Amino acid sequence: MTEPLSQLPLLYPPSPWVTRWAHLVRPGGRVLDLACGPGRHARWFAEHGHPVLAIDRDAEAVAMAGLNANVTARVAELEQGDWPLAGEAPFDAIVVTNYLHRPLWPHLLGALADGGVLIYETFAAGNETVGKPSRPDFLLRPGELLDVARGALRVIGYEDGVLERPEVSKAAFVQRICAVREASGLVGVSPPPRYPLPR
């Protein structure tokens, strides 16, 4: 039996990094939750008035993600074959947490609308000293998210360090970024666009 929808946010709270920057997403803007797992971010954005496409290869996880009328849940293989979102309209936000498959980066950048926000958070080099994931394929190199954004997105927030996680009794090395694809014609305009920083 599936948990009641009201209980799911308690079991799977959204990442504070994601909620910290969510105010930059256009009101009612369309959100992609990539490699969504049980959909903690999909549900959070849906509850805040955003239509969400939640995608993952795990059908059981996607079923949990789709327990909200504003969430379209889709099962798709992200690492084999063609990009499963070819032909989709651009997204106003793309959220990725605890997932890394480097060949997807050009697709993610291409799927972001003008004014769209990329919020990305995953494990980084050094995590092999405290647990899993430990393979280099799953760990960001120092400054790697900045390299991905360079020339394509304006970085609004970035962190690279150790996150203490008392709920699981261990630390994690993480890297995270919030970056915006500035609309054509905004670069160099006066006054410049304003991106409110959280206090």
Write down the domain spans for the chain: 5-180
Question: Which segments of the chain have a pLDDT < 50?
Answer: 1-10
Distance CA 103, CA 81 (A): 11
Task: Please tell me the predicted confidence (pLDDT) of residue 194.
Answer: 84
Q: Residue 28 in contact with residue 1, Cβ under 8 Å?
A: no
Task: Please tell me the predicted confidence (pLDDT) of residue 85.
Answer: 95
Task: Please tell me the predicted confidence (pLDDT) of residue 7.
Answer: 44
Within 13 Å and on the Cβ side, how many CA atoms surround 167?
Answer: 4
Task: Please tell me the predicted confidence (pLDDT) of residue 73.
Answer: 93
- Which sign does the torsion angle of CA 86, 92, 96, 100 carry? positive
* Mean pLDDT over each residue of the chain, to the nearest integer: 89
Instruction: Give 33's strand partners.
Output: 54, 95
Pick the CATH number of 5-180 from 3.20.20.70, 3.30.365.10, 3.40.50.150, 3.30.160.40: 3.40.50.150
Task: Please tell me the predicted confidence (pLDDT) of residue 3.
Answer: 40
Task: Please tell me the predicted confidence (pLDDT) of residue 198.
Answer: 87
Distance CA 132, CA 162 (A): 14
Task: Please tell me the predicted confidence (pLDDT) of residue 190.
Answer: 64
- Which sign does the torsion angle of CA 145, 100, 23, 197 carry? negative
Task: Please tell me the predicted confidence (pLDDT) of residue 11.
Answer: 57
